Amino acid sequence: MSDKVQFELVSPERLLSSELVDMVVVPGSEGYLGVLPDMSPLIATLQPGTIDIYKGTEIQRRIFVAGGFVEVSNSKCTVLAETAIDVAQLHRANIEQEIKDLNEDVADAKSDDERAKAEAALLLAKARLQAVTGELVV
Amino acid sequence: MPSLKDLKNRISSVQSTQKITSAMKVVAAAKLRRAQDAAEASRPYAERMAGIIESLARNVGAGTDASPLLSGTGKDDTHLLLVVTADRGLCGAFNASIVRETRRRVVALQQAGKTVKLLIVGRKGRDMLRREFSSLIVEAWTGIGKKGVHFSEADMVTEKILGMYAAGEFDVCSVVYNRFKSAMTQIVTVTQMVPTALPEVAEDAGAGEAKALYEFEPDEEQILRDLLPRNLAVQIFTALQESAAGEMGAQMTAMDNATRNAGEMIRKLTQQYNRSRQAAITKELIEIISGAEAL
């Protein structure tokens, strides 16, 4: 059997990447999952977080996803995600500014609907910040 | 009999129309390529989504009540039609055929005693349906897909539909759109989106050999609950893309026909122009000759 994982990342608009890698760590909704070759088939939902792509024992690429699904079968790992950004393209200052704005939005929200929307966006922004800094943001 | 000058004017006006239509044809062809590429690029996502749903369906089995999107409301009193048209005309029967099909459906459903509501994408559809069914239209969007169809636009429509469904405003939702077959042909397609039909799982399809049994995290029903709204968005996204490609195809064909008709007209007018010029020359010659003979 092969000792590599065929990793595919697809967004609704296009196939973002498809490559052979040694290991992928995906942010499952119930905890991070490491996908290795010949793993038993699995379907899981994702929470906002980073996908770490390993070549050898080094992290070769980190991609932020805002949720989605992962399917593992026959040494193939397919991630379906609507938003996927390379962590290298995220800027800490921008996200911190965004969090500040969103905090204000939550405070200013007039209806429950508005508040729920702003809070959801805030959670996403915090997850992005966490992806950049690697620290937990509360 | 129009004078020579009138003929000349008409020829030049048809010529400039022909220039416009042939330019529009070229533009439509370029946009069609882009729309087709976009549709091609989004296919992997839809395919994989369908794959996951199929394996879920295999594991969940029939009769699940995981999500109201699957089981429906138990009634079919109120039908919601999502009508996908273009914002602009000059594309042959593209919009008219969608509107015709919608009208047929609405009338049929109303005769069966159902309530009908309409969601409309595209200015043309809105304008044409507003005359007859303005009380049925819940919302109409224009400007979708102006710079290529984005998933966020499909998401916006999906959110509206899900919101209405959660509020119990309809029981069955279908989409009416033009499926892109080729640049020449678009097929008016009606697909039911809510409640979702799970793919039939054949009992003896040798499920054991190729398809392994999946583990699920969290459980199957939770995943289905997350997945079905996404699937709805993907279906709408696909419909919007097909429609965008179809519009460009229809426009290309319509403009090609217009260019050819203009060419035909120019040929006829030029012939008529030459004939009347020749007749005028002949007439003058006859006058000169008969004048000379009289001397």
Statement: residue B8 has pLDDT above 90: yes
Q: Which residues of B are catalytic?
A: 91
**Helix (H) or strand (E) segment spanning residue A54:** strand A49-55
Spans of chain A below 70 pLDDT: 1-2, 134-138
pLDDT for residue A136 = 55
The string of pLDDT tens digits covering residues B12-46 is: 999 999 999 999 999 999 999 999 998 888 888 88
* Nearest CB neighbour to B217, from listed A28, A73, A74: A28
ipTM: 0.77
Rounded CA-CA distance B185/B246 in Å is: 8
Answer yes or no: do A28 and A82 share one domain.
yes
Rounded CA-CA distance B140/B125 in Å is: 9
Instruction: State the average pLDDT over residues B262-281.
Output: 95
Statement: residue B164 has pLDDT above 50: yes
Contact B237 A29 (CB under 8 A): no
Q: What CATH number is associated with residue A18?
A: 2.60.15.10
Rounded CA-CA distance B178/B101 in Å is: 11
Q: Is residue A110 part of a domain?
A: yes
DSSP code string of B118-172: EEEESHHHHHHHHHHHTTTEEEEE-STTBTB--HHHHHHHHHHHHHHHHTT--SE
Answer yes or no: do A10 and A78 share one domain.
yes
Residue percentage of chain B with pLDDT more than 70: 92
The distance from CA A100 to its chain's CA centroid, rounded to whole angstroms, is 22
Answer yes or no: do A59 and A117 share one domain.
no
Contact A42 B217 (CB under 8 A): yes
Q: Is residue A138 part of a domain?
A: no
Answer yes or no: do A70 and A108 share one domain.
no
pLDDT for residue B66 = 60
Contacts of A28 in chain B (CB under 8 A): 217
Statement: residue B146 has pLDDT above 90: no
* Nearest CB neighbour to A15, from listed B41, B56, B233: B41
Answer yes or no: do A101 and A38 share one domain.
no
Is residue B211 very low, low, confident or very high in pLDDT (cuts 50, 70, 90)?
low
How many other CB atoms sit within 10 Å of the CB of residue B161? 24
Contact A12 B233 (CB under 8 A): yes
Rounded CA-CA distance B119/B126 in Å is: 9
Contacts of A69 in chain B (CB under 8 A): 52, 223, 226-227, 230
Phi, psi of A24 (to 5 degrees): -125, 135
Structure tokens at B273: 């122009």
| B288: DSSP letter | H
Structure tokens at B207: 């499920």
Q: Is residue A27 part of a domain?
A: yes
A88, HSE (Cβ side, Cα atoms, 13 Å): 5
Q: Which domain holds residue A34?
A: 5-87
Is residue B65 very low, low, confident or very high in pLDDT (cuts 50, 70, 90)?
low
Identify the closest residue of chain A to B40 by CA–CA distance. A14
Statement: residue B210 has pLDDT above 60: no
Task: Check if the beta carbon of residue A29 is closer than 8 Å to that of residue A101.
Answer: no
Task: Report the residue of A6, A10, A30, A32 to disrupt the B interface, i.e. the one with the largest count of B CBs within 10 Å.
Answer: A10
Mean pLDDT (chain B, rounded): 87
Using a CB–CB cutoff of 8 Å, tell me whether B36 touches chain A. Answer: no
For residue B80, what are the β-bridge partners?
Answer: B117, B173
Contact B52 A73 (CB under 8 A): no
Number of domains in chain A: 2
Contacts of A32 in chain B (CB under 8 A): none
Statement: residue B282 has pLDDT above 90: yes
The distance from CA B49 to its chain's CA centroid, rounded to whole angstroms, is 23
Task: Check if the beta carbon of residue B52 is closer than 8 Å to that of residue B227.
Answer: yes
pLDDT for residue B218 = 81
pLDDT for residue B253 = 94
Instruction: State the average pLDDT over residues B163-192.
Output: 91
Rounded CA-CA distance B173/B152 in Å is: 20
Contact B42 A13 (CB under 8 A): yes
Task: Report the residue of A42, A80, A83 to disrupt the B interface, i.e. the one with the largest count of B CBs within 10 Å.
Answer: A80
CATH class, domain B44-198+210-253, is alpha beta
Statement: residue B204 has pLDDT above 50: no
